[in-house]
């Protein structure tokens, strides 16, 4: 279950229908973590993760949770069959996000979001996600975090619980999400004066590369950032720059392939 923009965690489970629902979610995320490198390619191929932050957003606990408040997401795609993508053109939002992977705030609270995105010629069905995080706790102190996912299973690193450096999380949604630019997590943190970074990293369960899962049975799993930017067999994970760090990097998330609708249909065997 999800309440107030936060997913049900394993520690939140109670008896009854809610418990049974959570157990189903738990089984899904455990399978996701355990089989990330053994499953066939899924519907989320070509997907990536990116950071977004905006220094005009002033942190206040009254605004929590921050799920759904980035203002840069794209609507769910309801077109069937897909492609073509029927939502508003995502290019403008992707351009905003691509240029907003850094913050200049120091000795202050910063709010940032992690988003999942796909090229518009694809048909994502996001049902699960796993990833880890990495940062220097002497430079960044995480204050709060959350997700709109329906279930979350976190994994500690060296005895330090999520969202500690090196820890990871696995998420599931009860119904697949089809947006081509969607929030998957939000964080707030106090950033000290020294330049710092906050990065997506491998998941500590088996040192697994971050992956998306779809709603097939068994789930199709796709490595995040694999073939990123149109280059085969190249992985890319985003980096958020904090306190004026010049190392923030969302890569190139603008569309890299233009072709006719006939060409797209041929690509998907339709």
**What 3-state DSSP class applies to 23?**
helix
Provide the CB-side half-sphere exposure for 226 (13 A, CA): 14
Domain count, the chain: 1
**What 3-state DSSP class applies to 205?**
helix
**Contact in structure between 48 and 253 (CB atoms under 8 Å):** yes
Task: Show the domain range for 195.
Answer: 2-267
Structure token digits, residue 172: 């599931």
CA distances, 60 to each of 14, 190, 191, 235, 252 (Å):
31, 12, 15, 35, 32
Of 154, 169, 243, 160, nearest to 200 by C-alpha is: 169
pTM of structure: 0.84
**Contact in structure between 85 and 120 (CB atoms under 8 Å):** yes
pLDDT in tens, the chain (270 residues): 444 455 666 544 433 444 444 444 444 555 555 544 445 578 999 899 999 999 999 999 998 999 999 999 998 887 777 776 655 668 889 999 999 999 999 999 999 999 999 988 888 999 999 999 999 999 999 999 999 999 999 999 999 999 999 999 999 999 999 999 999 999 999 999 999 999 999 999 999 999 999 999 888 999 999 877 666 677 899 999 999 999 999 988 865 444 443 443 444 444
**Contact in structure between 143 and 189 (CB atoms under 8 Å):** yes
CATH number of the domain within which 217 lies: 2.60.40.680
**Contact in structure between 191 and 105 (CB atoms under 8 Å):** yes
Neighbour tally for 207: CB within 10 Å: 10
């Amino acid at each position: 279950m999800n309440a107030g923009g936060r997913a049900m965690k394993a520690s939140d489970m109670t008896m009854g229908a809610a418990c049974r629902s959570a157990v189903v979610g738990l089984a899904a995320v455990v399978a996701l973590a355990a089989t990330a490198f053994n499953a066939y390619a899924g519907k989320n191929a070509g997907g990536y993760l990116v950071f977004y932050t905006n220094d005009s957003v002033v942190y206040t606990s009254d605004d929590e949770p921050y799920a759904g408040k980035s203002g840069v997401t794209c609507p769910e795609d309801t077109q069937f069959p897909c492609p073509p993508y029927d939502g508003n053109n995502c290019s403008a939002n992707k351009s905003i996000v691509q240029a907003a992977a850094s913050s200049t705030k120091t000795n202050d609270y910063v709010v940032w979001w992690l988003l999942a995105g796909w090229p518009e010629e694809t048909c994502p069905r996001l049902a699960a996600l796993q990833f880890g995080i990495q940062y220097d706790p002497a430079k960044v102190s995480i204050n709060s975090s959350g997700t709109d996912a329906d279930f979350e299973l976190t994994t500690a690193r060296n005895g330090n619980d999520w969202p500690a450096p090196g820890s990871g999380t696995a998420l599931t949604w009860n119904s697949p999400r089809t947006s081509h630019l969607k929030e998957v997590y939000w964080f707030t943190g106090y950033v000290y004066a020294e330049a710092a970074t906050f990065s997506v990293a491998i998941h500590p369960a088996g040192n697994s590369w971050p992956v998306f899962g779809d709603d097939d049975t068994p789930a199709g799993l796709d490595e995040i950032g694999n073939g990123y930017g149109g280059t085969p067999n190249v992985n890319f994970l985003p980096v958020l720059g904090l306190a004026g760090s010049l190392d923030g990097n969302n890569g190139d998330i603008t569309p890299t392939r233009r072709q006719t609708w006939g060409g797209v249909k041929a690509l998907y065997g339709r």
